[in-house]
C-alpha cells in the first residue's frame, strides 16, 4: 500500500521581528478555520473513539460519507484561540502542526492505535531540542478518522492533526527534528522512501 507521507519544512523564528512570522501566523489562522468547533458541530458527527468509522455501501450507494468531528479546541495551547502568543511565535515556543496525506481506504492496522513521536535527529539535536508537548495528548491520532473514502464521497472530511509545541529550544542554534507517525501499516523504516510516514525539519529560535 502507499504509506502516508509528510513534507519537508523549516521553522525559523525571529522573536523580535514580527514580520518574519506574522504571515505564517495568518496562514495558520486560515488553515485552522475549518476545525472551529462550531463548524465541526454543524458538518460532522460525534463519533465513538477507538474504532474505525466504516460506512459500507451494502449494495446501496451511501453518499455522502459522514466524517467525525476534529475540534480545534483539541489542539489545546496550539489552537490559536484567544492566544496572545500567536501560536507561540512571539515567545519562541512555536507550534508545529503535523497531518497525514489523505490516503483512500487507509487502515492503521487491526484495532491498532496511532500516534506521532518527535526526536532530535542527532545527540546534539536532542539536547538542544528541549521539552515539548503534544496536542492531542501523546500525539494520538484516533482510529475514528479512518478510513477516508476520497474527496468525491467524503465531502466534509477534515484530516486529524497533531500539534507539537516546543517549549525551550536552545536559542540561536539550528536543531534537526524528525517526527514519525507510528502505526502497524506505516513503514517508517523503508529506506527506499525515507519520508514515508515521517517528516524532517530544521528548527531555529533566534534571540538577540
Looking at the whole model, is its pTM more than 0.85? Answer: yes
The CATH label, of 3.40.1440.10, 2.60.40.1660, 2.60.120.10, 3.30.379.10, for the domain at 9-206 is 2.60.40.1660
How far apart CA 188 and CA 102 sit, in angstroms, is 17
State how far the Cα of 103 lies from the Cα of 179, in Å rounded to an integer: 19
Domain ranges of the chain: 9-206
In order along the chain (208 residues), what is the average pLDDT of each group of 10 residues? 45 87 92 97 96 89 92 97 94 94 90 90 96 97 96 94 97 96 80 75 92
Is cis: bond before 147, omega within 30 of 0? yes
Q: What is the pLDDT of residue 13?
A: 87
Amino acid at each position: 500500500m502507499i504509506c502516508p507521507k509528510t513534507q519537508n519544512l523549516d521553522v525559523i523564528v525571529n522573536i523580535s521581528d514580527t514580520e518574519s512570522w506574522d504571515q505564517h501566523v495568518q496562514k495558520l489562522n486560515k488553515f485552522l478555520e475549518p476545525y472551529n468547533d462550531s463548524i465541526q458541530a454543524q458538518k460532522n458527527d460525534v463519533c465513538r473513539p477507538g474504532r474505525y468509522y466504516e460506512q459500507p455501501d451494502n449494495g446501496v450507494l451511501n453518499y455522502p460519507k459522514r466524517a467525525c468531528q476534529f475540534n480545534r479546541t483539541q489542539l489545546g495551547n496550539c489552537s490559536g484561540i484567544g492566544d496572545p502568543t500567536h501560536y507561540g511565535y512571539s515567545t519562541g515556543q512555536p507550534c508545529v502542526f503535523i497531518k497525514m496525506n489523505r490516503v483512500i481506504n487507509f487502515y492503521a492496522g487491526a484495532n491498532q492505535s496511532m500516534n506521532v513521536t518527535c526526536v532530535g535527529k542527532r545527540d546534539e539535536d536532542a539536547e538542544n531540542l528541549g521539552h515539548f508537548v503534544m496536542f492531542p495528548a501523546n500525539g494520538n491520532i484516533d482510529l475514528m478518522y479512518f478510513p477516508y473514502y476520497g474527496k468525491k464521497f467524503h465531502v466534509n472530511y477534515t484530516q486529524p492533526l497533531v500539534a507539537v509545541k516546543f517549549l525551550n529550544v536552545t536559542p540561536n542554534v539550528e536543531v534537526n527534528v524528525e517526527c514519525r507517525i507510528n502505526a502497524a501499516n506505516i513503514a517508517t523504516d523503508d529506506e527506499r522512501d525515507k519520508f514515508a510516514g515521517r517528516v524532517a525539519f530544521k528548527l531555529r529560535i533566534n534571540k538577540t
